[in-house]
Structure 1
Amino acid sequence: MPHNVLPPDPFANDPNDPAKSLGAMDDERGEPISDAERAELLADLADLSVYQALLEPRGVQGIVVDCVDCEQAHFHEWHLLRASLEQLLTDERMRPHEPAFDPDPQHYVSWEYCRGFTDGVGN
């Protein structure tokens, strides 16, 4: 679609444009991840593949994490969690993402559950 056909930007030349903070996010760089953190991320990705292979056929759709910041449960589907971890490895930060849509908590398990289940299957 040609640019001149689009409606005008309602925030054009507005110093309080809420989208300006999004551009600042592109410029922000935190501390680079350490070798130990990188190793942990790689281990988490490897574990995630095992967990998904064992649990997805049993109806588990992903992992739930209790967020200490907002005190709510965050439901991560397998592919979204993998993408977030891979992005953290490459970009050294996670961008905001959409949460799972209307998740059924019965279809999500914790990392601890995954570890225990994997240990039980391995013994």
Structure 2
Amino acid sequence: MNYDSQMPLDPFADDPNDPASFLDPEEPAPPLTDEERLHITQDLALVARFREELTPHGILGIFFLCEDCDDLHYYDWDIMAANMAATLRGELAPVHEPSVEPDVNAYVPWDYAVGFLDGINAPR
């Protein structure tokens, strides 16, 4: 069982349609290719820069449109970094989501965050 008392309970607990039900927790994930590892490492560095540059502007993280449920999912910088670090270690990321009612104005799409960095680094 992947349980951390600091994290919310698994939202799919006891759900027969749990999208992770096909995963075997005893079977390791296939190893990352060198290219995948490079991309994740680059994204992890971006998350650190996003946190540094966007947090002072009140931005707490990233949101994504979930293709499974068509809802927006909000991830703070720590969750993003933890997911990527777990993937780099060959582990499944722990089940976690931010609060049930996040301040949606404090999250931006990934592309916005990249554009923000591009804008502040543009030659003047």
Taking structure 2 as the reference length, what is the TM-score of the superposition?
A: 0.74
Write the distance in 2 (CA, Å) between the matches of 1:45 and 1:53. 13
Give the 3-state SS of the residue equivalent to 2:30 in structure 1.
Answer: coil
Is the Cα–Cα contact under 8 Å of residues 47 and 81 in structure 2 kept in the other structure? yes
- How many positions carry a matched residue from both structures? 102
Amino acid in structure 2 at the alignment position of 1:99: E
List aligned pairs for 1:76-87, cutoff 5 A. Answer: 76-87=75-86
Write the distance in 2 (CA, Å) between the matches of 1:119 and 1:98. 30
Write the distance in 1 (CA, Å) between the matches of 2:49 and 2:115. 12
Q: Residue 100 of structure 1 corresponds to which residue in structure 2?
A: 98
Q: Give the unaligned 5+ runs of structure 2.
A: 1-13, 15-19
Amino acid in structure 2 at the alignment position of 1:57: P
Structure showing greater relative contact order (alpha-carbon pairs closer than 8 Å, 6 or more residues apart)? 2
Amino acid in structure 1 at the alignment position of 2:26: D
Write the distance in 1 (CA, Å) between the matches of 2:73 and 2:104. 10
Amino acid in structure 2 at the alignment position of 1:121: I
Mean CA deviation greater in 64-73 or 102-111: 64-73
Deviation per CA, 1:55-108: give whole Å up to 9, x if none: 00110011111111222111001111101110011024334x221102111000
Q: Give the unaligned 5+ runs of structure 1.
A: 1-17
Q: Residue 120 of structure 1 corresponds to which residue in structure 2?
A: 119
Is the Cα–Cα contact under 8 Å of residues 59 and 106 in structure 2 kept in the other structure? yes
Over the matched positions of the two proteins, sequence identity in percent amounts to 30
- In the TM superposition, structure 1's runs of 4+ consecutive aligned residues that sit over 3 Å from their partners are none
CA drift of 1:112 comes to 0.2
Taking structure 1 as the reference length, what is the TM-score of the superposition?
A: 0.74
Note the aligned Cα RMSD (angstroms): 2.0
Amino acid in structure 2 at the alignment position of 1:71: D
Structure with a larger share of its residues in helix? 1
Give the 3-state SS of the residue equivalent to 2:59 in structure 1.
Answer: coil
Q: Residue 27 of structure 2 corresponds to which residue in structure 1?
A: 28
